Structure 1
Amino acid sequence: MHWRIKGTVQKVLGYVPGGDVLHFHLQRQFGGLQNFRRELESKVEDWTIMAHHLRNAGLVFRGLRGFEIGSGWYPTFPIACYLAGVERLITYDLTRHMRADLTLACVEALEGSLQTIADAAGTDLEGVQARYQQLRKRMQAGEDVQSASDGVIVYRAPADATRTDLPDDSVDVVFSNSVLEHVPGEVITAMYRESMRILAPGGVMFHSVNCGDHYAYVDRKVHQLHYLRFSDAEWKRWNNAFLYQNRLRAHYFVDEAREMGFDIVLDTSTTRPERLAQLQAMNVHPQFAHYAPEQLCITSVDFIARKVA
């Protein structure tokens, strides 16, 4: 599909009544939800990467208090955290997207990933299996994920991650996966400020940011640096309610956390030769001219920022 077609369709759906429902059904038929199992496997892989990074930073899943920004259609990360033995996992979404049918499908499909979850979390497989059996049985009986997890997983939407009702110093980790690239810069700053408030001393933020042009996933004729050709005014034509992209570069997310007072303990941003070659072969809009090419061409970053004890 040509990227402009997708952008136009999503732009229109963002304005018409019931556009969100129609957008979901289009995602099921033609988009990322078309192959549910493949997408779920990708999310499990992302979770295991996060789990390894958190363990390397000294966090232990058993008894962990977590806060997720951006729940999505179904809560893969919160469920995996629950199976790993967290004490509580609160997940916020600005819009209420989570669906009971997809959440149950997620739980049922995770049966094949229990060993992977146990290994990544560094916990015993028997405990993961016991929690899984309880969760699946109760959800198959009609309970929602919060009830079936005995209140360990808490879903709140619509909810604002810049102004939570959580007490000071009440969570050990704040995390997101492929969310911050869809959030305006000033909102990211507000999220970081709120994270600093609710994190316990020594607690961390983990964010995985996919800051490349997402239209490249549907149009093979463009690559992930493609959107740097346009000015903000031009790009506004293609930004929409369902695929807003802030076009902020990887170092921004890390630098903003550092300026907020966090100690950066992980930064995976890497300049890849193929991206640098793509950048050198294209016309970049002058508004990006102040960036070094090595910064401009980075399209993903995982980072951990610790609240100094």
Structure 2
Amino acid sequence: MKHYLKTYIFKTLSILPDSLGSKIYHQLQNVSENKNIEAKLKSTENTLSAFGNIFANLKVDLQNKSAIEIGSGWLPISPYILLHKYKLKEIYSFDINKHYQKINIEKFNSLFSKTYKNDIAVSRNNSYSLPENVHYFPSQNIINANIPKVDIVFSRFVLEHVTPEDIFKMHEKFKQSLNKGSYIIHFISPSDHRAFSDQSLSLQEFLKYSSKEWDKIQTRFDYHNRLRLPQYLDIFKSLDLEIVYISHDNPGPNSPQEQKFRNLKLHQDFSKYSEKELTAGSINIVLKI
């Protein structure tokens, strides 16, 4: 879909009364998110393979660890894989929205059981058909929630959709609430997400706008903070969180994406960053409290 069509849809929804706009958005996204679940399962498994490899290199045994997931999304894909493949003990999943639907999770339970030859033991007292060791906390901002003491906090492609102020507050809460030695791992996609469905755009396309110009384009339905790698690091360092692992990629020399970036006229707000800092994508970072 061309980026301006998606922007038009989100802009239309944003001028409706909040409850109506959110309802229509939820219905549209529900249809989209529940298409091709097999591909989403595979994609998440690939991300969590990196999760497992990172902790293996850090010599951290994941078995029987407990974790908080930031951003539940539409299905419990990450919790199921972490419990099944890496033998975590408990997953507490927090989301500012309420996207889980029992009928969709029941279908996913069947798919997961068939794919991994692992029967999902659903808790009788769970209204979402989740296992006993997956705890869902919808419609909760984790900054204001009572969170359990866990060994690991993780997010998958969530942090780029959180305001810088809330990223700071979130990690401040983790530092205050969790035991020293706990880990926080984020998989961050800092690129312009419109470019994923519209190949005419650069992955850094949104860096040509001022903050005011970008705020006129995005809405609450597709918010992106546009933070560059050094800005994330500055937030974490300001809280004295130890950075124990970091990786990212950049466009290859003379690749189409590098050419698109070089053709961009960046806004002066981003002029202090190097090309590598501006184009750093697929950021994986582990913090230690």
Q: TM-score, normalised by structure 1?
A: 0.83
Provide the rounded CA distance (Å) in 2 between the counterparts of 1:79 and 1:34.
19
What are the residue-to-residue correspondences of 1:3-14 with 2, within 5 Å? 3-14=3-14
Give the direction of change, closer, same or farther, for the CA distance of 1:198–1:58 in structure 2 (3 Å limit).
Answer: farther
Aligned CA-pair RMSD: 2.2
Q: Given the alignment of the two structures, is residue 237 of structure 1 paired with residue 216 of structure 2, yes or no?
A: yes
Give the paired residue count. Answer: 283
Corresponding residue SS for 1:101: helix
Deviation at 1:103, TM superposition (A): 1.9
**2:284 aligns to what?**
302
Provide the rounded CA distance (Å) in 1 between the counterparts of 2:79 and 2:227.
27
What are the residue-to-residue correspondences of 1:247-258 with 2, within 5 Å? 247-258=226-237
Corresponding residue SS for 1:20: helix
8 Å CA contact 2:68–2:154 kept in 1: the answer is: yes
**1:149 aligns to what?**
131
1:140-197: per-residue Cα shift (whole Å, max 9, x none)? x89545x7522x1111111121133135xx2110110000000110100011111212
Deviation at 1:111, TM superposition (A): 3.2
Which stretch has the larger CA shift, 185-194 or 18-27? 18-27
Provide the rounded CA distance (Å) in 2 between the counterparts of 1:58 and 1:113.
29
Deviation at 1:206, TM superposition (A): 0.2
Deviation at 1:296, TM superposition (A): 0.9
2:119 to 124, 133, 136: 133
User: What letter is aligned with 1:44?
Assistant: E
8 Å CA contact 1:209–1:300 kept in 2: the answer is: yes
Q: Given the alignment of the two structures, is residue 264 of structure 1 paired with residue 231 of structure 2, yes or no?
A: no
Q: Given the alignment of the two structures, is residue 164 of structure 1 paired with residue 150 of structure 2, yes or no?
A: no
User: What letter is aligned with 1:24?
Assistant: H
User: What letter is aligned with 1:11?
Assistant: K
Provide the rounded CA distance (Å) in 1 between the counterparts of 2:249 and 2:178.
28
8 Å CA contact 1:267–1:302 kept in 2: the answer is: yes
Deviation at 1:32, TM superposition (A): 4.8
**2:262 aligns to what?**
280
Show structure 1 runs of 5+ residues with no match: 115-128
8 Å CA contact 1:276–1:293 kept in 2: the answer is: no
Give the direction of change, closer, same or farther, for the CA distance of 1:15–1:52 in structure 2 (3 Å limit).
Answer: farther
Which stretch has the larger CA shift, 179-188 or 13-22? 13-22
Q: Given the alignment of the two structures, is residue 290 of structure 1 paired with residue 269 of structure 2, yes or no?
A: no
1:77-131: per-residue Cα shift (whole Å, max 9, x none)? 11222324322211111111122222223222223553xxxxxxxxxxxxxx6xx
Provide the rounded CA distance (Å) in 1 between the counterparts of 2:92 and 2:163.
22
Identical amino acids, percent of aligned pairs: 22
8 Å CA contact 2:244–2:288 kept in 1: the answer is: yes
8 Å CA contact 2:68–2:92 kept in 1: the answer is: yes
**1:25 aligns to what?**
27
User: What letter is aligned with 1:59?
Assistant: V
**1:178 aligns to what?**
157
Deviation at 1:57, TM superposition (A): 2.2
Corresponding residue SS for 2:151: strand
**1:188 aligns to what?**
167
8 Å CA contact 1:174–1:199 kept in 2: the answer is: no
Q: TM-score, normalised by structure 2?
A: 0.89
**2:201 aligns to what?**
222
4+ long deviations beyond 6 Å: none
**1:106 aligns to what?**
108
8 Å CA contact 2:158–2:188 kept in 1: the answer is: yes
8 Å CA contact 2:109–2:120 kept in 1: the answer is: no
Give the direction of change, closer, same or farther, for the CA distance of 1:54–1:2 in structure 2 (3 Å limit).
Answer: same
Deviation at 1:34, TM superposition (A): 3.2
